[in-house]
Each structure stands twice: as structure tokens, then as C-alpha cells.
Amino acid sequence: MAGLWILIAGAAALRAATIAIPNGSFESPATLFVDTHIDSWQKTPKPDWYDEGGGFLWEQLTGLFQNPAPTRADHIDNCDGSQAVWVFAVPGAGLLQDASTVDWNDPAPSGDFNVVFEAGSSYELTAGIIGGGGNMAEGVSLELGLYYRDSAGQIVTVAAASIVHSRAVFTNNTHLVDFKVRTPRVTPADPWAGRNLGVRILSTVGFDLQGGYWDLDNIRLASIPDPILIEPGWAGSRFGFTIRSEPGLQLEVLSSADARLPLSQWTVAGTLTNRTGTAAFIETAPVEARRYYAARQAPSSP
């Protein structure tokens, strides 16, 4: 039987690591009703076209509100804490946070959110969202994104998810629906590797559909390390191993006779769902030559 090599890393169990986002549940400052001030978050800048004489100042398009009492018909049943935020469905309205942002009460960045994109991990942002407020039209969109700043300080999006309002998705205004966006695995060659990570909530509605508002709460961030391969062995003439990864991931197993090739040129040997944190993979045919193996999260369906 020909020799065989396998890419193997350490055997520690892999779990997503929670990264704290300052004021990620919008509990500060505390309010008994509403407040347009939001600690730790910077509001998107007012565009030149926005006329503040039309009824709302740009500052008022985002803000905090106290979750109504449980006896109220508009009580949000899964609010994290006692407060959430609103974002008006106006083009460009939103909130962002990174190492260089400032909130309403700080003249300089606090440095509290100092997270960098580390090679070998992907990053997942989750937000609880309610659409449809204020007679929002179907088709109104909101973007949930992860970004870095280039050498000129400009925001460059790494990954973004578009949330589109429909009555089929948002069936009521009292229950937050979780939406997620995940970056690809960070490689040392990526321009964002080692750069500070930023999160942004941005209204991307067009002028034709603007109006209404979104409610948001419980903004969460996690870093997810690469899957690792352990315990190589043989089942007769078939080769196999165990994959450790974040539970629930859909994985793609790749193989190649040449480890120097980029992963895009490796062969897909199979796919599987790692439901518990460990999953076995066995080749479907005998392996008769030296092979290298790797595993990664399977690409999302279009």
C-alpha cells in the first residue's frame, strides 16, 4: 500500500469563542422611555442630501427604547435585557462600532472594542431583528456587516447579509428574529488579516421604499477556528479520520496529491454535517497513492 499523508492539527475540541461587543444589548444609557444617545456605538454620518427640516433630525433616526411592560400588547417577548434600538428605514441610517469609533459622549475612541481579524478563523455576527415597524413596505432592506478600515481609514466590507422585510419573515412586531453573517476563513494574505474588526448595522433601503423602522437587539460576535483533522486510520483499504469543528457546521473535505496547490484546486472528497463537534470521514474508495486532506466550512448555497 502506498504511503499517505494527512494534514493534522491539535486535538483540542473546537468551539466558537464569544467576543464581547460593548453595549451589544443596548442597555446603556438606561432610559425609562426613549433616548437618542447610544453608548459605545457611533451613528452613521448624515449625508448631504438629508433635509433635517423634514420632521426628524438625523440624530433621531436611531436610538434606544425601553421594552414595553409584559402586560402590553407591544412587549418584545425575547428582548435581551430591558432595552433595544430602532433604526429608521432611511437610506444610510445606522450604527457602527470598531476600535476607532466614538459615541455621543466621548471625544476620542475608548478602545473598548479592540478586536482584530486573525488568520485561521472566521467571524460570525448575529443580531435579533424585527421588521415592519411604522407601516414599513415589503422589500425594505437592512444590512448586517463586518468590515475593516483601510490605510486611509475608509470602511471596507468583508462580509454582509441583506435582511429584506416581508410579512412572511416578520410575522409580528413582538418577537426578534435572529439573522447572521459570517466571514470567509481569514488567510494571512487577506488585506484585513490583522486589521481591527468592525460591525455595522446599515439601512440600505432605496428612496422609493423608505419609511418605517427596524427594531434590533442582542448583537453577538463569535470567532470560529478552522476545522482540524485527527485520529487517522484505516478501515480495510479505505482511509478515514475524525474532524473536530464547531457543532452544526456543514463541512467540505478536500484532498490533493500536492499540498502546495491552493485549496481552490483541491478535489472535493465529500461533504458532511458535524452535528456534535466531532464527525467521522471515510473515503468511499481505496486510497492507493499519497494524499493530503483538509476540511473547511462548505460554501453557502446561492
Measured CA angle at 19 (ends 13, 20), to 5 deg: 145
- What is the radius of gyration, based on Cα positions, of the chain? 23
Measured CA angle at 57 (ends 56, 58), to 5 deg: 115
Q: Could you count the other beta carbons within 10 Å of the beta carbon of residue 265?
A: 10
Average pLDDT (93-99) is 98
In this predicted structure, the answer to whether residue 185 has a pLDDT above a threshold of 70 is yes
Read off the pLDDT band of 16 (50, 70, 90).
low
Average pLDDT (224-235) is 82
Q: Are 243 and 274 in contact (CB under 8 A)?
A: yes
Q: How far apart, in Å, are the Cα atoms of 2 and each of 172, 260, 270, 290?
A: 61, 20, 22, 6
Q: Which one is the CATH code of 31-224: 1.10.565.10, 2.60.120.260, 3.30.360.30, 3.40.50.1820?
A: 2.60.120.260
Read off the pLDDT band of 15 (50, 70, 90).
low
In this predicted structure, the answer to whether residue 222 has a pLDDT above a threshold of 90 is yes
Read off the pLDDT band of 13 (50, 70, 90).
very low
Average pLDDT (49-65) is 95
Read off the pLDDT band of 3 (50, 70, 90).
very low
Q: What does the buried/exposed string (b/e) look like for 22-31 if buried means 16 or more CB atoms within 10 Å of the residue's CB?
A: ebbbbbbeeb
In this predicted structure, the answer to whether residue 226 has a pLDDT above a threshold of 60 is yes
Nearest partner of 156 among 75, 115, 245, 96, judged by Cα: 96
Least confident interval from 45-54, 246-255, 287-296: 287-296
Which carries the bigger pLDDT value, residue 90 or residue 12? 90
Burial class (CB in 10 A: 0-12, 13-18, 19+), 13: exposed
Which amino acid, 164?
V
Q: Which residues fall within 8 angstroms of residue 191, CB to CB, at 6 or more apart?
A: 148, 150, 156
Grid cell at residue 40: 459605545
Which residue ranges make up each domain of the chain? 31-224, 228-297
Give the pLDDT of residue 260: 85
Q: Are 112 and 189 in contact (CB under 8 A)?
A: no
In this predicted structure, the answer to whether residue 271 has a pLDDT above a threshold of 80 is yes
The pLDDT tens digits of the residues spanning 235-268 come to 777 888 888 887 888 888 988 888 888 878 988 9
User: Which residue, chain included where needed, has cell 472594542?
Assistant: 113
